[in-house]
Structures are given as structure tokens and as C-alpha cells.
């Protein structure tokens, strides 16, 4: 058991990370998972959680926190009329289906595999955001079904494996088909809701009865960590949403790309 002073420091660090995650959720529509997973992975290692389940618990707990954060962020964006409700209705089954499939894959994947998936996807999307060119667009509007529906399944699957709310993937998808980045960010908050709820349930089931889980865990979700993070993230999500509407499209893209490179570097170094 770490010294009491260290536990206090970790508690403060988690509360601070929750506030930062809330700002990121509103700013990028990413649900905050892209920062939560690396923070959890590091903190869980410092308090002695088994390496075999550390990444799984980081991902599962991140999904649990994304639920209220994404709802708060989506409501803030909806007040501005920026959410594409038609796309969310189209993905009402597709995205949750992908998230459930992700939890099934996670039940058999190693910690190293999850970290590698997280880092690789973050690099690809970061390059797309930072070096974005108009010529890279795939069309002037979103494709029709079944293509868009299948993209929803893929976003749910990959986001569930990363423990993120789907914003980074949905932002890339929507902007590649000429949708405004502000609309993509706003809609991504809704995508986070569709991913996080079934994803959280799936990670609870996948980790049920696993050895080495930290106290107060249900499957791969640690409720003590979630309880410490949620207040700050919910409080700060509207702040990020307001900031997003003050920045230009290009500023949002570059900031998100740089952030993803930093996250990917941390995970590649841990492999």
C-alpha cells in the first residue's frame, strides 16, 4: 500500500485530470477518454495495480466517466443548434453494436495490444488533423447507407478498444465529407453517449471475476476512480464547449492533432 501522502496526491491528480477531461470533452467532443486512459494507466501503475489488467481497467473506467461528460457536453452544444441529430439517429444501433464488439475483443486482448491500438489510431488521426488539406476530402456530403451505418459500427468498435468517446474518429469522418468542424465536434459528444453506455456495460461483463482488479471494481470499471473524476469533468465540459465556438476550424484541427501525438508518444514509450 503506498504512503498516505501519495494517495492524497493521486486523488488530487485524478480530480484535476477530471477537470481537464471535461474541458477537452467540450472543446473537441472527444469525451475526455484520450486523456483519461493515459492518466489512469500511469496512476494505476503507481498504486500497484496488476499490469495484466491495468490497461483494461483504465479503458473501462474511462468509458464509465464518458457517459455523464458526453451528455453534459452534447446538451451544451445542442443549445447552439450544432448537433447533427439525423446522423445520431442513423447510428443509434450501429455505434452501440461496435462498442459491444469492442468489449468482447478486450476480454481476450493483452494490455500491450490495447496500448498499441490506442497509440496507432491516435497517430493516424493526428496526422489527418495537423496536415489536413482540402484535397483530402472524400466527398461533399456524408455517404448514404449502408456505408455510413458501417462507419458507425467501426467507430464504436475502435473507440471501445481505445476507451474514448468516438469524437476523434467521428470528427475525422464528418470533416472528410465537408461537414463543418464545429458541427463534427458537437455531434461527437452525442456519439460518445452511444459508445460509452454499452461499452461500459461490456467492460463490466468482460472483466467480471478477473484476478488483480483494484478495490471497488465491477469488472474492468473502478467506481472510486470514476467518482473522483466525474464532478470535475461535468463542471468543466460547458467551458470547453464555449471555447470551441470561439476558435476557428483550423485552430481546432491543429490543437486536436498535437494533443493526439502527445498521447500516442506516451503509449508507444510504454510498449
For 6-33, what is each residue's pLDDT tens digit? 667 667 777 777 777 777 767 766 656 7
Contacts by 74-79, CB closer than 8 A, 24 or more apart: 74/186, 74/189, 74/190, 74/192, 74/193, 76/26, 76/189, 76/237, 76/238, 76/241, 76/242, 77/26, 77/29, 77/185, 77/186, 77/189, 77/241, 78/186
| Cut 0.95: pTM above it | no
**pLDDT one-digit tens code per residue, 57-79:** 988 998 888 888 778 777 877 77
Flag whether pLDDT at 208 surpasses 90. yes
Q: What average pLDDT does this structure show over 223-238?
A: 81
49 pLDDT band (50/70/90 cuts)? confident
At 247-258, the pLDDT tens digits run 776 777 787 788
Residues 144-166 pLDDT 10s = 889 999 999 999 998 888 777 77
pLDDT digits (tens, 9 = 90+) for 184-199: 888 888 888 888 888 8
What does the pLDDT read at residue 154?
93
On the question of pLDDT at 39 being above 90, the answer is: no
Reported as a single tens digit per residue, the pLDDT across 93-130 is: 999 999 989 888 888 888 788 888 878 888 887 887 78
- pLDDT, residue 75, reads 81
The dihedral sign for the CA sequence 184, 40, 151, 196:
negative
**% of residues, the chain, pLDDT over 90:** 15
Which pLDDT score is estimated for 219? 93
Amino acid at each position: 500500500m503506498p504512503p498516505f501522502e501519495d494517495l492524497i496526491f493521486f486523488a488530487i491528480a485524478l480530480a484535476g485530470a477530471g477537470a481537464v477531461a471535461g474541458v477537452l470533452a467540450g472543446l473537441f467532443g472527444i469525451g475526455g477518454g484520450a486523456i483519461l486512459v493515459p492518466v489512469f494507466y500511469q496512476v494505476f501503475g503507481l498504486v500497484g495495480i496488476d499490469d495484466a489488467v491495468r490497461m483494461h481497467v483504465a479503458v473501462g473506467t474511462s468509458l464509465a466517466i464518458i457517459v455523464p461528460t458526453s451528455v453534459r457536453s452534447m446538451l451544451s452544444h445542442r443549445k447552439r443548434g450544432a448537433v447533427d441529430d439525423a446522423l445520431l439517429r442513423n447510428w443509434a444501433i450501429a455505434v452501440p453494436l461496435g462498442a459491444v464488439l469492442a468489449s468482447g475483443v478486450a476480454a481476450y486482448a493483452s494490455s500491450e495490444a490495447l496500448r498499441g491500438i490506442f497509440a496507432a489510431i491516435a497517430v493516424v488521426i493526428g496526422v489527418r488533423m495537423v496536415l489536413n488539406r482540402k484535397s483530402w476530402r472524400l466527398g461533399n456530403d456524408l455517404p448514404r447507407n449502408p456505408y455510413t451505418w458501417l462507419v458507425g459500427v467501426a467507430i464504436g468498435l475502435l473507440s471501445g478498444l481505445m476507451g474514448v468517446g468516438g469524437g476523434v474518429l467521428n470528427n475525422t469522418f464528418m470533416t472528410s465529407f465537408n461537414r463543418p468542424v464545429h458541427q463534427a465536434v458537437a455531434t461527437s459528444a452525442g456519439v460518445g453517449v452511444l459508445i460509452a453506455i454499452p461499452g461500459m456495460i461490456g467492460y463490466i461483463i468482460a472483466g467480471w471475476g478477473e484476478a488483480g482488479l483494484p478495490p471497488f471494481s465491477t469488472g474492468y470499471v473502478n467506481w472510486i476512480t470514476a467518482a473522483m473524476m466525474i464532478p470535475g469533468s461535468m463542471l468543466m465540459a460547458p467551458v470547453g464547449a464555449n471555447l470551441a465556438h470561439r476558435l476557428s476550424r483550423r485552430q481546432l484541427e491543429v490543437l486536436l492533432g498535437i494533443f493526439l501525438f502527445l498521447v500516442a508518444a506516451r503509449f508507444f514509450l510504454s510498449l
